[in-house]
Amino acid sequence: MQLDLFDDRHQLLVRARKSVAELRLGDARHELIGLCNRYPADPGLAAELARVQRLMVRMTDVELAAEADLPAALLELAAHVDGAGLGLDVRLALLRRVGETLSNARGDAGLLNGQPPGYYFLLGSDIAAARASLEAAVALERRARFLALLGDAEPSRTRYAEALLLDPYDVAIDRVADDEVRSLPDVARFEMGLEADPIAWAGPTGIVTGVLPGVAVPVAAADGELGRARAFATALARGSVADRKEMKRLAPELFAAYLEGLSRR
């Protein structure tokens, strides 16, 4: 009989926690009140009910915000919810809600703290929603940050290549999900001798070393190391004898790696 009671308590608690994780806080509160009434001597249940009720109060305050302010308010709540003892699932649900409200308020290319809705869907572990939102964002504005995030969501090294050739500084390469892609600036700096601005050279380095596929992305003229890297990428895509001479002039060690790669094919 005791085992049956324990199993019943456990199942009811699992259901209540599922409601919390889905931000159905009214349902969770009702379920936990029922549990507390059935097991009045259980301090753990009372503490759990108190945490849910505190979250309900905070959510009520957040949801009173204007539509334009709601994504930021939800993000602020998500940043502190684990400290309230409510766990990772609630934080993930709040981050997904940030993505939803940001998309509704500003569109899929709209930004909160420099990131589009798809980023928050990714943080909230909703990969399908992230992909859909990021594809919509790219259709609205072909921005390197959106392409790189789509590379995380798909996952796709083609997207990373497109992003790094389009604007390597917008990619936030130190935060991409793919370890090899994330290490490309280090490869450029320490293996290819491109110390002046290895981030600018991440795309060409990735293509030459085989980490990234070769992609046809129009690159605008630019000054400095970015201009050199873009000129190298253009010459690499064309591949004529004159282009190879230009590649050697622009980045001798990277060109040597290119030739070594050709010899292994």
User: Residues 105-137: pLDDT tens digits?
Assistant: 999 999 999 999 999 999 999 999 999 999 999
Are residues 58 and 70 part of one domain? no
Q: Express each pLDDT in 33-78 by its tens digit.
A: 999 999 999 898 999 999 999 999 999 999 898 989 999 999 999 9
Are residues 81 and 20 part of one domain? no
The structure's pTM equals 0.89
Which two structure tokens, joined as six digits, stand for 34? 């029922």
Q: Which residue segment(s) compose the domain that 78 sits in?
A: 66-141
Q: CB under 8 Å to 110, separation ≥6 — which residues?
A: 102, 103, 116, 117
177 in a domain, yes or no?
yes
150 in a domain, yes or no?
no
How far, CA to CA in Å, does 229 sit from each of 21, 203, 242?
A: 47, 8, 17
Q: Express each pLDDT in 174-191 by its tens digit.
A: 999 999 999 999 999 999
Largest interatomic CA distance in the chain: 85
Q: Which of 64, 93, 113 is the last residue of a domain?
A: 64
B/e letters for 102-126, b = 16+ CB within 10 Å, e = fewer, are bbebbbbbbbbeebbbbbbbbbbeb
Are residues 258 and 171 part of one domain? yes
Nearest to 182 by CA among 152, 224, 215: 152
What is residue 83's predicted lDDT score, i.e. its pLDDT? 64
Query: Is the bond preceding 43 in cis, omega lying within 30 degrees of 0?
Result: no
Total domain count, the chain = 3
Contact 226, 196 (CB under 8 A): no
Are residues 60 and 125 part of one domain? no
Distance CA 23, CA 177 (A): 28
3 in a domain, yes or no?
yes
pLDDT at residue 4 above 90? no
149 in a domain, yes or no?
no
Are residues 135 and 226 part of one domain? no
Return the percentage of the chain with pLDDT > 90, whole number.
81
Q: Which of 106, 141, 176 is the last residue of a domain?
A: 141
